[in-house]
Amino acid sequence: MQPTPVRLDDPATYAVGPPHEFFTWLRNEAPVYWHASEKFAPGFWVCTRYADVIAIEREVKIYSSSRGGALLEDQGEGTELMMLNQDPPQHTRLRNLVARGFTPKVIKAMEPNIREAAHTIVDRALELDGVVDFVPNFAAELPLVVIAELLGVPYEDRHKIFEWSNRLIGANDPEYGAGGIEAAHEASMELYMYAQSLADSRRARPLDDIVTALVTAELDGEKLSDIEFNVFVLLLSVAGNETTRNLISGGMLALFEYPEQYERLKGDVDGLLDTAVDEMLRHVSPVMYFRRTAMSDTEIRGVDVKAGDKVTVWYGAANRDEDVFPDSQAFDVGRAPNEHIAFGGRGPHYCLGASLAKLEIKVMFKEVLTRIPSMRLAGEAQHLQSTLINGIRHLPVAYS
């Protein structure tokens, strides 16, 4: 029986989390589904099968990220400089330039500071009494500290990144997006100016950090322009903050919702943490979709797709594809294998910071699970109203 159609283009749809029941119906009955939309007229294709998402992500000559951008709303001037909205070879050039900030060597060097930061976050949280909001006191802090370290941002400025990214992602959310699209545009301009000040500072006084490397680096004679650097800082601030923060919050909520798995993980943290983190990524899928645009007439599963059509790939739906993940709706901290696509569908846009994000998530949960095993849900989770990010604004917990 077909469920009531869900408006995937309406942020209010996600006030109670992603519509997984509808996605299940789509995977089984209409895996390539035309979603009519007045807001994004005339509409867009919705692809929910794992194999289709991977194929679309890899076929960059057929499905473009640059034509109109990677979001449902056509992207404005300047956003074509963001890797998210580029195709090879432009995307390849920019990715190769910034990838030096995410090498295994760089990440390994950051690990002691990440562990120390997580320990300090839990120390401070343990001083709080009563009901505590898990989002600002646990989930949000570590990604902000890591971004601040990556960019050489003063520690006291880290919450500027939190506020800017909230305004950018939550433009349609009643709490984060009080100023709407105009506030989001203002946030992007403020973030660009801040990024430019970082670049100017490093050119005048180079340091041993990623900002200096990016503003001075050359690859085959190519350098990042100022606007390319500023746009990259915006992307890093949003991607590195919103996704990791909301994965940590969503992972904690999943443990509360599956108490037997919570107890299982607490009983064998060292043995199960790696698989548990991957299961959180699969189950939560913090980035819900990206858009591509068909560059020529094509077809997906026998469905005709016309040149110029918007094609959206839904990672959270694909990560519950029954053909790939047995008992796909269940949360299983020991699930293996677990070839989820929370970081993208294995194409050129696979998340550059995936290894760093997994390290942050693992370190944070190691601290929480071992030092606060009594943590419990103390109220109702409040979900972000966003078509892009599967987020949680507030998650009340108690542990006294």
- Model confidence at 154: pLDDT above 70: yes
Q: How many percent of the chain have pLDDT more than 90?
A: 65
| Chain centre to alpha carbon of residue 284 | 10
- Both structure tokens of 182: 């105009």
For residues 227 and 94, the answer to whether their CB atoms sit within 8 Å is: no
Please tell me whether residue 210 adopts helix, strand or coil conformation: helix
**Burial of 266 from C-beta contacts in 10 A (0-12 / 13-18 / 19+):** middle
pTM comes to: 0.92
For residue 18, what are its two tokens? 């992603």
Average pLDDT value for residue range 334-348: 95
Tell me the pLDDT band of 361, cut-offs 50, 70 and 90.
Answer: very high
Instruction: Report how far residue 18's alpha carbon sits from residue 28's, in angstroms, rounded to the nearest whole number.
Output: 17
Q: Could you give the angle at which helices 141-151 and 354-371 cross, rounded to 10 degrees?
A: 140
Average pLDDT over residues 358-368: 97
Long-range own/partner contacts, residues 89-97 (CB < 8 A, 24 or more apart): 90/66, 91/65, 91/66, 91/348, 91/349, 92/348, 93/219, 93/222, 94/224, 94/228, 94/232, 95/348, 95/352, 96/219, 97/214, 97/217, 97/219, 97/222, 97/223, 97/224
pLDDT of residue 179: 63
What was the pLDDT predicted at 218?
A: 66
Instruction: Give the pLDDT score at 187.
Output: 83
At 94-113, the pLDDT tens digits run 888 888 778 888 889 889 99
Q: How far is CA 36 from CA 25, 43, 72, 373, 377, in A?
A: 17, 4, 12, 47, 38
Extract the tokens encoding 68. 């109109």
Instruction: Report the share of the chain in percent with pLDDT over 70.
Output: 95
The 10s digit of each residue's pLDDT in 248-297 is 999 999 999 999 999 999 999 999 999 999 999 999 999 999 999 999 99
Amino acid at 89: P
Cβ atoms of 189 and 176 closer than 8 Å = no
The pLDDT of 126-133, averaged and rounded, is 96
Measured between alpha carbons, how far is 257 from 245 in angstroms, rounded to an integer?
19
For the record, the structure tokens of 120 come out as 């300090």
Identify the structural domains of the chain with CATH numbers, from first to last.
Answer: 11-389 (1.10.630.10)
Res 219: pLDDT: 58
Distance CA 366, CA 2 (A): 42
Q: Judge contact between 158 and 144, C-beta under 8 A.
A: yes
Q: What is the pLDDT of residues 58-72, one digit of tens each?
A: 999 999 999 999 999
Q: What is the pLDDT of residues 11-21, one digit of tens each?
A: 999 999 999 99
* Interval 151-171 mean pLDDT: 77
Q: Which residue carries 């943590």 as its tokens?
A: 375
pLDDT, one tens digit per residue, over 204-246 is: 888 877 788 778 766 566 777 888 888 888 888 777 788 899 9
